[in-house]
């Protein structure tokens, strides 16, 4: 069997983070009496995406994300009577409160667990990622869980993947397969380190990056079929 370890990105690979974040943000806006409209939603998304990009580039840390994303959002709306850090904490609770697992996840993990060591490799905040694993009832499938906020390193930093490699029972990098939806942080980071890669691409986005995944799938059944054949 070609692979010994399958390492999964968590958000939007196994669970629908887009759903959880959207619902959580609606709850947060409601809590703080901020109008829910497309302009405000897109403003938050732009600020949040920019901060997470800086984090993945090693320019800021996760505490900066906690402090800045809602603070900058509120400043952009000229709202001065709300604490952005407190708002962020409430938002994280709402993300946990709205779980949605992706189709095929449980069935695929049940099958793959029989023949492979499974792990999670996720860029996320420690106060939500492990709680969300439990909320989705996925804990028992994974021998390893690597949360960027817990190790102060993030995908695609090669040091993140070195940390992972040092802690799994596999000396041959080519027998480790990383599965994720982000062509830069998941596929690019893992490929640059020497792991094999599987791009989870259900919407069939065009690959405009310099990275070439080992293979690409539209659903997890395709992953099960592929690793069963190699």
In sequence order, which residues have a C-beta less than 8 Å from that of residue 11 and are 6 or more positions away? 17, 122, 124
pLDDT at position 1, please? 60
Q: Summarize pLDDT for 130-183 with one digit per residue, the tens.
A: 999 999 999 999 999 999 999 999 999 999 999 999 999 999 999 999 999 999
Distance (Å, whole) CA 114 – CA 213: 25
Residues 81 and 105 in one domain: no
97, 119, 136 — which closes off a domain? 97
Residues 9 and 72 in one domain: no
Residues 147 and 189 in one domain: yes
Domain that includes residue 70, residue range: 18-97
Per DSSP, the three-state class of 117 is strand
**Sequence-separated contacts (24+) of 63-70 with Cβ below 8 Å:** 65/125, 66/125, 69/44, 70/44
Which token pair is 175?
Answer: 């027998």
Q: Which residue has the tokens 């062509």?
A: 183
The terminus-to-terminus CA distance of the chain in angstroms comes to 6
pLDDT at position 230, please? 64
Count of structural domains, the chain? 2
75, 97, 119 — which closes off a domain? 97
How many other CB atoms are there within 10 angstroms of residue 100's CB atom?
A: 12
Plot region of 104 (φ>0 → left; ψ -120 to 50 → alpha; else → beta) = left
Distance (Å, whole) CA 156 – CA 192: 9
Indicate which CATH number applies to the domain containing 125.
Answer: 3.40.50.1000
Residues 122 and 225 in one domain: yes
What residues of the chain score a pLDDT lower than 50?
none
């Amino acid at each position: 069997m070609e692979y010994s370890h399958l390492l999964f990105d968590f958000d939007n690979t196994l669970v629908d983070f887009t759903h959880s974040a959207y619902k959580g943000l609606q709850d947060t806006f409601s809590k703080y009496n901020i109008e829910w409209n497309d302009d405000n939603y897109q403003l938050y998304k732009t600020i949040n995406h920019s901060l997470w990009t800086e984090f993945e580039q090693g320019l800021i840390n996760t505490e900066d994300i906690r402090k800045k994303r809602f603070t900058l959002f509120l400043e952009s709306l000229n709202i001065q009577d709300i604490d952005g850090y407190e708002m962020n904490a409430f938002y994280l609770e709402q993300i946990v409160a709205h779980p949605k697992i992706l189709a095929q996840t449980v069935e695929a993990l049940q099958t793959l667990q029989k023949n492979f060591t499974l792990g999670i490799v996720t860029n996320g905040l420690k106060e939500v990622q492990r709680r969300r694993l439990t909320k989705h009832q996925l804990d028992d499938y994974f021998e390893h869980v690597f949360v960027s906020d817990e190790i102060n390193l993030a995908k695609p930093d090669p040091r993140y993947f070195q940390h992972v490699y040092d802690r799994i029972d596999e000396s041959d990098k080519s027998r480790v397969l990383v599965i994720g939806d982000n062509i830069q942080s998941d596929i690019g980071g893992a490929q640059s380190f020497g792991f094999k890669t599987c791009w989870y691409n259900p919407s069939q986005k065009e690959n405009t990056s310099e990275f070439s995944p080992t293979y690409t799938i539209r659903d997890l059944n395709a992953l099960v079929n592929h690793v069963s054949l190699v």
